[in-house]
Structure 1
Amino acid sequence: MFALLGSVATLLALGACAPLQGASHHSKLLLVSFDGFRWNYDQDVDTPNLDAMARDGVKAQYMIPPFVTQTSPCHFTLLTGRYIENHGVIHNMWFNTTTGQKLPYYNTQGRSDWWDNGSLPIWITAQRQGLKTASLFFPGGNATYQGEQVEVKKVEKLFHKYDNETEWRQNVDTVMKWLSEDDLDFVALYFGEPDSTGHKFGPESQERKDMVRQVDRTVGYLRQRINQTGLSPRLNLVVTSDHGMETVIKKDEIHLAKVANFSFRDIQFQLVDYGPQGLLLPKPGKLEQVYEALVNAHPNLHVYKKEEFPGRFHYANNTRITPLVLYGDPGYVIHGYIKVQINKGEHGFDNNSTNMKTIFRAEGPDFRRGLEVEPFESVNVYALLCKLLEITPEPHDGSLTVTEHMLVKNAGTRLNSPLATWNLALVLGLDSGIYVNGSST
């Protein structure tokens, strides 16, 4: 017995001093987002690979995105753990209320002044703490933050074709190379579907169902490649999305140009015709007149002065928000001068709306198996990612307590940490009455 204790003491001493040669201190992490994947898209389509992920890992009933439920704002919440009013990426479009200039989604991706508001995406935080990171098409990946960019990146080209399954597999292969051969620690991978198909054909369409099958095939290919590259024992995989999708209502539409006593001549800057959410800057002295004209203009239109916008949205308390904020009920988009919106599916609605909710799946060495968890807000994902990478997070609005029950007991623990030492002792069959750092474990 004393010989065993002596051997264990030697092993514990070695473990407390240095990590094992050739072993990483933590598992690698791959974050994958399939844009616009509504929480229940797997219920009317067979998704064997997403189902296998749930059996082998963790599935949330659904995940609640932040408001406004748009691509860039929601993805930056995943990357920073901040509500949208706190990270400042309040819209998919960069805009200037003085000049009236607006930039579309693609061009906004390259505007660092839009993204860099003091909230650091996780790849910058991880790099500052010694890890190697990458972004492949992920929103925010083409910006510079406090003078730093993500170490490795691939950026979408203009008019990128989102539904190319051959390219999807090529991108998976690229990411596998980054993680295995190039030994990167964290990669964020983005796919622009099923969002694009949901917009064009509607969330209840056969085309959307076919695209969900393509997504599932890609998840299967991804899991296959993880096994083939030998990464399974040391790679955590998180598959999620930014928001859901709603069918657009084409009857009794919200059309601002037809509202009595309202005129765009009273508006200095407007950002409407972009789904169900709108921003208005009235000309000096016109705020009350514009507000009164719109506040009861349509039963499915909600109009607020910035300071009165509901606090539950965590949206309006930012200098980029205009004095008037508008949003439509689920299904109702906001038209401006003329009707230019032709999508059959849309997002941007109230984040508590059922069809705005999205998915969360995770598996890997640090996740429990076969666990379904209660719904949670996506603002909490960031703390979980930091835990998995074992990095110190930046200030954020989420909490690890919301998600840590998904993890095995010693997840995110370095091999030479006291908790790892305790687990080694248990494996060797020692009594649990070991004292670490002065307290009994």
Structure 2
Amino acid sequence: MSGLLQFKGMKMLTSLGFVFAAVSLASCVPVQQVSSRSKVLLVSFDGFRWNYDQDVDTPNLDAMAAEGVKARYMTPAFITITSPCHFTLLTGRYLENHGVIHNMWFNTGRFPGTAPGLKTGSIHFPGGKAKYQGEEVSMKLVEPAVFNYSNETNWRLNIDTAMEWFTVKNLDFIALYFGEPDSAGHKYGPESMQRKNMIKQVDRTIGYLRQRIRESGLESNLNLIITSDHGMETVLKTNEIHIGAINNFTFKDIQFELLDYGPNGLLVPKEGKLDHVYSVLKNAHPKLHVYKKEEFPKRFHYANHPRITPLLLYGDPGYVIHGRYKVQFNKGEHGFDNEAMNMKTIFRAVGPAFKQGLVVEPFESVNVYALLCELLGITPERHDGSLETMKPMLRESAPRAPAKKLPVMLGMALLLGCWGGMH
């Protein structure tokens, strides 16, 4: 646990994020030349709950569904927060297998690079600014330290940049990230008028994106996927969970804590204090779930990783966890059980590889990576998803490169088993 303990009291960096995932996507050499390949644009609108389009007029999202594929909803990985869920999208792995267990962590694990076969781009995608032992995404646009994620003008400029990268720089794959409607959902709540207005902005942006795809001559060979990392839940302000106020609990028994970050908590009790802390917290609040690592529910695919702490906590939907002091005042939050409907998110896809006017049954986000690899004509690394789950949305005659069987990159396992300090 020594590496984990390094970050107590420090401002954390986000997860490995896009770069490692992009290299993972590009780590197999494609079997046909770049000029004749299908391209893929993956767009994430952070915190877009599965039903946000049902109380707002969204003509562009509706048109995309009519001309392509719409999932009734998509189930994100647990825990339902930004960096881990984006990493699942791009690796096809649950959190316990890709190792990005939280937004708040850093890592010095090494990435032994392979020869990328694809040209990839990141525009504001989580983690896209970093290098990993010299490996980085082909092209990237990184937001400054102080950045307005809601600026619609900036959104359109980023779309223009993506079109230029596809046409002038001949990139194969771009991941484009928007920080809304997550921010609006947090600040004002998922049922607020501000969130509804933000959905209208998102829909206008999708209309502009599809217009620019047509104007750039990309419609015949660009597959567009629009999705998100998680949904949003209204925070309940009654009968709140305050760890510091629980009888017989003291932070003097704790060596490390990660609390005050939505409904999730990670604790490392001091030596000899594990059973005591567990027994004190276990039934302390009716909406708080407390587990020893080895007893955490297997369905979450979360606890079986060296970085996970001996004690794990999570709250029922709507209930966030307060630690030493109350510092959370959001009206909306995520991170809850991924089976809770308000954590579900969206999936839309349109392009030459996709059927038209098809509504598919819900699926897990862990399957998206296999779809990306199929569209790009590369053999996927080891993953937890299934291409068979996604195949019904694809045209049988879609122009996709046949994948070539190549060995699995052994360096991934080495990276995900190490701790350290990413700078």
Shorter-chain TM-score bucket reads: 0.7 to 0.9
Letter in 1 for 2:370: A
2:98 pairs with 1:87:
yes
Look up the match of 1:267. 254
Look up the match of 2:12. none
- Provide, for residues 217-259 of structure 1, a one-character-per-residue CA deviation record: whole Å limited to 9, x for no partner: 0000000000011100010000000000000000000001110
Partner of residue 339 from structure 1, selected from 307, 312, 326: 326
Does the 8 Å contact 1:53/1:363 carry over to 2? yes
Look up the match of 1:78. 89
Runs of 4+ in 1 over 4 A off after TM superposition: none
TM-score by length of 1: 0.82
TM-score by length of 2: 0.85
- Provide, for residues 282-341 of structure 1, a one-character-per-residue CA deviation record: whole Å limited to 9, x for no partner: 000000110000000000000000000000000011111110000000000000111100
Letter in 1 for 2:373: C
The 1:180–1:351 alpha-carbon spacing in structure 2 relative to 1, beyond 3 Å, is same
SS of structure 2 residue aligned to 1:327:
strand
2:42 pairs with 1:55:
no
Distance 2:200 2:172 in 1: 29
Look up the match of 1:170. 157
Tell me how far 1:413 sits from its aligned partner.
2.9
Distance 2:139 2:399 in 1: 24
The 1:299–1:412 alpha-carbon spacing in structure 2 relative to 1, beyond 3 Å, is farther
| The structure with more radius of gyration | 1
Partner of residue 219 from structure 2, selected from 218, 232, 237: 232
Look up the match of 2:49. 38
RMSD between superposed Cα atoms in Å: 1.9
Partner of residue 286 from structure 2, selected from 274, 299, 306: 299
- Note the residue ranges of structure 2 that are not aligned, 5 or more in a row: 1-30, 405-423
SS of structure 2 residue aligned to 1:362:
strand
Letter in 2 for 1:80: T
Tell me how far 1:196 sits from its aligned partner.
0.5
Look up the match of 1:256. 243
The 1:367–1:299 alpha-carbon spacing in structure 2 relative to 1, beyond 3 Å, is same
SS of structure 1 residue aligned to 2:220:
helix
2:331 pairs with 1:320:
no
Look up the match of 2:346. 359
Does the 8 Å contact 2:40/2:223 carry over to 1? yes
Aligned length: 374
Within a 5 Å distance, the mapping from 1:86-165 to structure 2 comes to 86-94=97-105, 111=106, 113=108, 128-145=115-132, 147-165=134-152
Look up the match of 1:368. 355
Tell me how far 1:143 sits from its aligned partner.
2.8
Look up the match of 2:178. 191
Distance 2:312 2:403 in 1: 52
Letter in 2 for 1:28: K
Partner of residue 218 from structure 1, selected from 205, 228, 239: 205
SS of structure 1 residue aligned to 2:164:
helix
Does the 8 Å contact 2:375/2:401 carry over to 1? no
Look up the match of 1:433. none
Distance 1:67 1:262 in 2: 27
Letter in 2 for 1:47: T
Letter in 1 for 2:85: C
Tell me how far 1:145 sits from its aligned partner.
3.8
Tell me how far 1:415 sits from its aligned partner.
9.0
Tell me how far 1:27 sits from its aligned partner.
1.0
Look up the match of 2:4. none
SS of structure 1 residue aligned to 2:35:
coil
2:275 pairs with 1:288:
yes
- Provide, for residues 86-112 of structure 1, a one-character-per-residue CA deviation record: whole Å limited to 9, x for no partner: 111100011xxxxxxxxxxxxxxxx56
